[in-house]
Amino acid sequence: MSLQDKVAIITGGSRGIGAGIAIELARLGAKIVLTYVSPPDKAASVVSTIKAGGSDAIALQADCMDPSSPQKIVSAAIKAFGEQIDIIVNNAGVGDELYLEDCTLEHFDKVFYTNVRFPMFLVKECLRYLPRGGRVVNVSSVCARQGWPMQTAYSASKACMESFAKTWAAELGHKYGITVNAVNPGPVATDMWNATPVDAVPGMQNYIDITPAAPRVGEVDDVAQVVAFLCEERSRWVTGSTVCANGGACFV
């Protein structure tokens, strides 16, 4: 129970990688605040799983494009578990795939408001409640470092998450006593993966086939275990890093 009684906010925690992270941190003893947009039944299912395992959790609907959401999330966490937030996992994101010639201002705003502005201001809102030894983990992507068609806005937004990790580690380490890192999954077997456009599948399959650790799509637990380590005390000397959680598909 390495995270016993720690309070962890996991954004986008109702499904996919976020749900796996929420369940794993709860297994290690953390109290979970997970956010979701929709559907609420998936969030309720994750909360039920966590509570059945003996930890506590709440689910909170929050629109990442709404500038009031960070304050709303922090208020709910404080009300539920007291005035301390130990862990923030910035997992929520959108990955709408468009060729550059099809990109619009609306598309750009959706991706950057969700994937960049929202986590930035969530961490800012949490600062006053983060104890020394706190942890921030940003979920990036191999797309941040590799060129993928149809990923102009998404890849740039994930590169921002890695940049945040370095900047915040340098800026916040001494003052707040926290570590900040990123993880960069490749293809993972989630509903987002299942929605991959048909014309992108052949290239993705080749990418999977040459993944060094094994020629397969990643599993949610492959990523959740890496995130859990970065949330524990034993990761205290790791900060400002992007930790690979992609089977070697992207070397850092």
- Judge whether 154 counts as a catalytic residue: yes
On the CB side of 252, how many CA atoms lie within 13 Å of its CA?
Answer: 20
**Of these residues, 14, 55, 69, 140, which one is catalytic?**
140
**Of these residues, 55, 69, 141, 241, which one is catalytic?**
141
25 in Cβ contact with 7 (< 8 Å): no
7 in Cβ contact with 31 (< 8 Å): yes
Classify 13 as helix, strand or coil.
Answer: coil
On the CB side of 164, how many CA atoms lie within 13 Å of its CA?
Answer: 27
93 in Cβ contact with 114 (< 8 Å): yes
DSSP 20: H
**Of these residues, 31, 155, 157, 158, which one is catalytic?**
158
- Judge whether 140 counts as a catalytic residue: yes
- Judge whether 158 counts as a catalytic residue: yes
Inter-residue long-range contacts of 160-164, CB under 8 Å, 24+ positions, other chains counted = 160/115, 160/116, 161/90, 161/115, 161/116, 161/119, 162/138, 162/242, 164/119, 164/120, 164/123, 164/138
**Of these residues, 154, 155, 157, 241, which one is catalytic?**
154
24 in Cβ contact with 230 (< 8 Å): no
- The catalytic residues are 140-141, 154, 158
